[in-house]
Amino acid sequence: MKKKFLIGFLATLLSVPTSGLFAGPLDGQCIALVHGILGFDDTQGLAGGLVKYWGGLDGYLRSQGAKVTTPGSSATNSIPTRASQIQSSVTTWMTANGCSKVHLMGHSQGGLVIRYMVSNLGFNGKTQTVTTINSLHQGAPMADIVLGVIPGWLQPFANSALSLLAKLVYRDGRPQDVIAMGNSLTVSYVKTFNANSPNKSGIKYYSYGSEMAWADLIQHPIMALTHPITWAGGLFYGLGGGNDGVVPLNSQKWGTWKGTPSSYWFATGIDHLQATNLAWSGQNYYDVQGHYLNIAKNAKAGL
């Protein structure tokens, strides 16, 4: 009797469709979370895993039935360089995980990286949707301001020193180019980028973002320092004063704008770092997991 029961149990188990192994609202959806500048693969994280770019969101989305990768690329480099690295990593992951298409989700410069992959590297055939989060689709004026302060003759020396520092910090053997990274964030560069990287037909594009209510040093100890600069730059370039500390809110919009997350009553908005729950910095101020589940469910539904 026990033998028959065991055989029957195994037969039932083997008859369950593969998709059943990924039970949940996301049910086997393939998702790539692509970091922005100074980012990294959350498989290892930084500081021995103590710092995670996505603050555990990859694991949470897996618990909801998705297949998720957090590919790493050069922390400081141009969009084409990073896009090539990300595409290679995602393609390998897709093959290993049986994914014919993937939902690309990019934060900050990562949003431009995934757009470049789809528009310029022929990845549109493997892309289901493109979702950008706090990305700089009209540029980040702070980059223009910072680069404007560094004299042209000094930039090569600054680039060598800062790129070497990045190599020492990340220790992944990838090329680093701080000036190329900075140039890729400027208003003028992104204007040209948009002209050369149009949306691909047949693929839906979504964007999400956030903003800070004001430069609150308690909730936003880092972004409170950059918020006034971004505010001034946003007004100068006609992008408005509202921003997340790095990117004007109006610059974060691309494709179908899906809005900002609802923060808790005591929060003073959501900044650029809290938008990905970097080092678990956002979860005390808004429902991070609920927000990203809605992002993933929207991509799945193609609304």
pLDDT at 155: 85
pLDDT at 21: 56
Q: What is the CATH number of the domain that holds 86?
A: 3.40.50.1820
pLDDT value for 168: 87
Residue 90, in any domain of the structure? yes
Structural domain span for residue 294: 30-139+176-210+251-301
In the chain, the number of structural domains is 1
- Give the H or E element holding residue 181: helix 178-183
For residue 110, tell me if it sits in a domain.
yes
Does some domain include residue 269? yes
Tell me which residue of 110, 135, 129, 136 sits closest to 295, measured CA to CA. Answer: 129
Tell me, yes or no, whether 51 lies in a domain.
Answer: yes
pTM as predicted: 0.91
In this prediction, residue 152 carries a pLDDT of: 82
User: What is the pLDDT, as a whole number, of residue 7?
Assistant: 43
Q: What is residue 86's predicted lDDT score, i.e. its pLDDT?
A: 98
Tell me whether residue 85 is in a domain. yes
On whether residue 48 sits in a domain, the answer given is yes
Sign of the CA dihedral running 218, 220, 226, 232: negative
Average model confidence (pLDDT) for the chain?
A: 92
Condensed to tens digits (0 to 9), the pLDDT of residues 83-109 reads 999 999 999 999 999 999 999 999 999
What CA–CA distance (Å, rounded) separates 287 from 17? Answer: 32
The answer to whether residue 171 is domain-embedded is no
Distance CA 166, CA 170 (A): 6
List of the chain residues with pLDDT < 70:
1-22
Q: Which SS3 state, helix, strand or coil, does residue 137 take?
A: coil
In a domain, 155, yes or no: no
